[in-house]
Amino acid sequence: MNVPFCTIIPPYLLRRLAKQDAPQYSAAARAAKEALGHVKTVHASRTQAKPDTPPALRPAKPGPPNRTVYDAQGAETLPGKLVRKEGGAATGDAAADEAYEGLGHTHRLYADVFGRDSIDGQGLPLDATVHFGRLYDNAFWDGKQMVFGDGDGAVFGRFTASLSVIGHELAHGVTQFSAGLAYRNQAGALNESMSDVFGALVEQYVGNQSAAQASWLIGEGLFTPEVQGQALRSMKAPGTAYDDDVLGKDPQPDSMDSYVRTSADNGGVHINSGIPNRAFYLVAEALGGNAWDAPGRIWYETLTNGSLSTTATFTVFARATAAAAVELFGTDTKEHDAVRRAWETVKVKL
């Protein structure tokens, strides 16, 4: 299986930005074209095999994080110049220090809440490169490390500014080392959704936010003030994250009634993730309290217990979450009922 190249910015949004011809967006349009070209190049050359790390290999006690941050200095060669290692002092570079802190916050969620030792469950060192490329409009997990661009300055700012983005991309690594969901069609949308779920949970855990207090926005803080939008995606209300003259309107559906059938973006992995995203939010809303507790445990167990095939559909995943709820909390419980009702609301059959 190929390791997917997972980016935070959907290709459909970059394509929209690349078509802009107004003078004030010329740099942003050029940056979007370059980001699209980079995605195509990496996908064409991807040959690395998925590491074989069975979910059962979980240490009894997670170890401390082992973080390293590099600076690409505007180049596209990884990893770049070493600027901060585990335990080192802050650099004064906002991007480098945000990356370092974000890696640590993500490691802490998995260790404290789920007993997982880093991204692979085996203490994987957490590496990140900042200042990748010139005005690079994306952040991505490449199968080994995190990479962050600085944004074009007109539409997107630096990609380390959003903790949910850091948590999102590292969660692609968790999926890679557990269920290995294929990055295409509904399995790919689930892959994206799992990253949104755990990206949101990292942000909520660090902020000690209850499900009711949380924004449920992914990528909040990425847009410049000129953009009419809050974030890249809304888990609470898919399709409402932005409505902008340049970027258009958020196209995510919130139920199977509006499921998007397309060959673009690997079969709509960034668009249709809104459906399972909303299902998770609905479970968290119904149960109240902290979303990383019962809802997070159910989703994490589903992702890591070995029950999912790499090509799982929404229905397969929904049934697996219901089974995990029963395994963790029993039948005829509020947790099982919340999971069942959430999938019914988004029109995914159990």
Residues with catalytic function: 169, 270
Runs of H (alpha helix) within 46-135: 94-114
Q: Which two tokens stand for residue 92?
A: 């004064």
Pairing of strands 67-71, 81-85: antiparallel
| 45: its two tokens | 């050359």
- Give the integer Cα–Cα distance in Å for 180 and 172: 9
Burial 195-205 (b: 16+ CB within 10 A, else e): bbbbbbbbbbb
Q: What is the DSSP string of 196-241?
A: HHHHHHHHHHHHT--TTT---EESTT-B-TTSSBS-SEESSSTT-S
Check if the beta carbon of residue 335 is closer than 8 Å to that of residue 329: yes
CA pair distance 265, 331, nearest whole angstrom = 38
Task: Name the residue among 203, 221, 233 with its Cα closest to residue 101.
Answer: 203
